[in-house]
């Protein structure tokens, strides 16, 4: 099978990661993939680094000339690559793909991936498009799948939920790395180290976690420690440090910023925490943590309750619930492998 992944995302966010891992998995299974994306953006760069054929176009532009050029470049990509399946991971330019699929009846099938929390419109036009110009729909969480079934009235065989997957050969527990990182941060074997790995953004729920840890320390949990790993977004590292200082947690916390040894940093954790207040249509970090043998607790947001058990879920923003889960959680691990992800995708067409 030949799959053209259209990844018109400017950053390497969860949508781009999901699409990239699909490309890598399909390639590893012997399928042929190509990527079409915005010029000089991370999804295209990563595809090139992986030896995957790429095509570039300003797919997100509203300029009529750019739209025309993008349509011509897509036609060129189809002529050169001859895909069996075109996978659209974003809404921009989706209208053009549906137009071609319905009116020109090409040999390739059109797949719409819904890898974010924003549902499509459920109006008459959307229902018509999804019934008549889209061959399959892949969602990254069950709530989105149910929306397509209930609101767009799609048949069950047309919609599937695939959570994604990680490279489990890469994300595997490293005991030497664990000890090295804990020594670097001044943590001992007796310390109970929590970890949050997320961009610095209020939606990721850092403050509710910090409040929970502050209260646990006041209640006598003296050995609790924290790793905060991430990159600047709507907040920066200085904001995170101020929040920690205000909670009296700065001296027990390692704020790492961007690290190249992410597997070792994850391995240094005793418990991963995903306290998100929103988003999380794809939960990459939860899969990475579990692949490294780290148990995970998380909020009841998005796909999180679908990939970890109810015993490890807490209400988003509920400080007491977070405290309860930190004190009482299940040692649970489930493997989400990118090869299984790709195999499930390919079997969707059999």
Q: Would you kindly state where each structural domain of the chain is located, as residue ranges?
A: 2-167+338-347, 175-327
Banded pLDDT at 158 (limits 50, 70, 90): very high
User: Quick check: do 2-167+338-347 and 175-327 share a fold?
Assistant: yes
Instruction: Please state the rounded mean pLDDT for residues 308-335.
Output: 96
User: So what's the pLDDT on residue 118?
Assistant: 81
What are the residues facing 136 on neighbouring strands? 111
pLDDT of residue 103: 96
Topology, domain 175-327:
Rossmann fold (3.40.50)
In this predicted structure, the answer to whether residue 39 has a pLDDT above a threshold of 90 is yes
**pLDDT digits over 242-297, tens only?**
999 999 999 999 999 889 999 999 999 999 999 999 989 999 999 999 999 999 99
**What is the CATH topology of the domain spanning 2-167+338-347?**
Rossmann fold (3.40.50)
- Cα separation of 288 and 303, whole Å? 15
Measured from the Cβ of residue 253, the count of other Cβ atoms closer than 10 Å reads 21
Query: Measured at the alpha carbon of residue 284, what is the angle toward residues 281 and 286, in degrees to the nearest 5?
Result: 100
- Strand runs labelled E in 91-191: 109-114, 136-139, 159-161
Task: Report the C-alpha gap between 109 and 86 in whole angstroms.
Answer: 6
pLDDT band of 42, cuts 50, 70, 90 = very high
Q: How many alpha carbons lie under 13 Å from residue 21 in its C-beta half-sphere?
A: 28
Q: DSSP strand E in 134-201: where?
A: 136-139, 159-161, 192-197
pLDDT digit string (tens) for 5-26? 999 999 999 999 999 999 999 9
Per-residue pLDDT, averaged over 81-106, amounts to 96
Task: Read off the pTM.
Answer: 0.94
């Amino acid at each position: 099978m030949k799959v053209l992944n259209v990844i018109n995302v400017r950053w390497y966010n969860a949508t781009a990661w999901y699409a990239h891992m699909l490309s890598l998995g399909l390639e590893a299974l012997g399928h042929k993939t190509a990527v079409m994306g915005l010029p000089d953006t991370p999804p295209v760069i990563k595809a090139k680094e992986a030896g995957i054929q790429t095509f570039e176009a300003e797919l997100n532009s509203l300029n009529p000339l750019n739209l025309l050029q993008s349509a011509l470049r897509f036609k060129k990509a189809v002529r050169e690559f001859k895909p069996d399946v075109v996978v659209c991971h974003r809404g921009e330019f989706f209208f053009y793909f549906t137009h071609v699929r319905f009116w020109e009846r090409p040999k390739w099938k059109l797949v719409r991936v819904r890898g974010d929390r924003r549902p499509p419109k459920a109006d008459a036009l959307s229902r018509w498009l999804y019934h008549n110009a889209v061959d399959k729909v892949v969602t990254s969480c069950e709530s989105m799948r149910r929306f397509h079934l209930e609101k767009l009235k799609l048949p069950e065989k047309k919609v599937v939920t695939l959570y994604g997957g990680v490279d489990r050969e890469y994300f595997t527990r490293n005991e030497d790395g664990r000890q090295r990182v804990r020594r670097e941060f001044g943590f001992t074997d007796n310390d109970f180290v929590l970890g949050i790995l997320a961009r610095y953004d209020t939606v990721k729920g850092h403050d509710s976690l910090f409040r929970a840890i502050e209260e646990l320390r006041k209640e006598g949990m003296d050995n609790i420690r924290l790793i905060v790993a991430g990159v600047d977004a709507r907040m920066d590292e200085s904001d995170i440090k101020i929040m920690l200082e205000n909670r009296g947690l700065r001296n027990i916390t390692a704020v790492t910023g961007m690290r190249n040894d992410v597997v070792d940093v994850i391995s240094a954790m005793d418990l991963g925490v995903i306290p998100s207040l929103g988003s999380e249509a794809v939960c990459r970090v939860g899969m990475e943590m579990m692949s490294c043998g780290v148990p995970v607790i998380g909020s009841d947001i998005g796909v999180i309750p679908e990939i970890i058990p109810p015993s490890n879920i807490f209400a988003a923003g509920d400080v007491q619930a977070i405290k309860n889960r930190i004190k009482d959680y299940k040692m649970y691990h489930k493997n989400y492998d990118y090869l299984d992800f790709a195999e499930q995708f390919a079997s969707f067409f059999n």
